[in-house]
Amino acid sequence: MNPELAALARQVKGFMPHDEGLALHRAAAEVASLGPLVEIGSYCGKSAVYLGAAAAAADGVLFTIDHHRGSEEMQAGWEHHDPVLVDASTGRMDSLPVLRQTLIDAGLENTVVAIVGDSVTVAAHWSSAALVFIDGGHGQVPAHADYEAWSPKVMPGGLLAIHDVFPDPADGGRPPYEVWLRALDDGFIEHGAHGSLRVLRKPVSRSAS
């Protein structure tokens, strides 16, 4: 990965350990020339820099989707709340301005397209992707909804990446792990694991949906 972008990604606020981000970058680099990369859960753009660097190197594109209103655990009073991200005019979370600044700082404005909205709504109008990275709502309902909406969009031979997969319940919430098991059950093939990042490939011949 471009060392300047790697150094910048480290500095961006967010939830992507550097070694997992580099693993995500490597997966994205494998397929970035085949079609668009899609990320669910932009937040402040940390993982978007790892993915966007791969897209830029391949003359590809990353679409990063977020409503920027925060997940449940990011709301006031919850574990991952950051008061700096509250928009004073509405009292609601808004990470979009920080994402935009991250993309400017990274020089990725022409490579990364920010889509502001609900991930499942966007999926309903999407055709296909070379890689889908699921890191949006981590609760039972949103995690499975993202899988159901987005896994069919992965092109044959393309990659599905899932973050925060914790086989041991002591390490974190269940839904991303359940989604990973579900993907295996649906015919996706294990491609790599790094920390809580899991990468799967959709087979070219037989169907996985």
- Burial of 160 (C-beta count, 10 Å sphere; 0-12/13-18/19+): buried
The interface with ligand SAH within residues 8-37 (CB under 6 A) comprises: 14-16
> CA–CA separation, 33 vs 36, rounded Å?
8
- Contact status, residue 154 vs residue 148, Cβ threshold 8 Å: no
- By beta-carbon proximity to ligand SAH, the closer residue of 67 and 202 is 67
Residue 201 is a binding residue for Mg ion (CB under 5 A):
no
Binding string, 7-36, against Mg ion, x = CB under 5 A?
Answer: --------x---------------------
DSSP letter for 143, please. H
Residue 194 is a binding residue for ligand SAH (CB under 6 A):
no
Binding string, 103-142, against ligand SAH, x = CB under 6 A?
Answer: ---------------xx---------------xxx----x
- By beta-carbon proximity to ligand SAH, the closer residue of 20 and 30 is 20
Amino acid residing at 164: D
Secondary structure (H, E, C), 62-106: EEEEECCCCCHHHCCCCCCCCHHHEECCCCEECCHHHHHHHHHHH
> CA–CA separation, 49 vs 53, rounded Å?
6
Measured from the CB of residue 52, what is the shortest distance to ligand SAH in angstroms?
11
The interface with Mg ion within residues 161-200 (CB under 5 A) comprises: 163-164
Residue 63 tokens read as 């679409």
The interface with ligand SAH within residues 65-84 (CB under 6 A) comprises: 65-71
Is 138 labeled as catalytic in the residue annotation? yes
Amino acid residing at 97: P
Among the listed residues 135, 136, 137, 197, the single contact to Mg ion using CB under 5 A: 135
Strand, helix or coil for residue 173: coil
Which helix (DSSP H) or strand (DSSP E) does residue 129 occupy? strand 129-134
Which residue is catalytic, options 67, 68, 138, 163? 138
Residues with catalytic function? 138
Q: Which residues lie near ligand SAH (CB under 6 A)?
A: 14-16, 41, 43, 46-47, 65-71, 95, 118-119, 135-137, 142
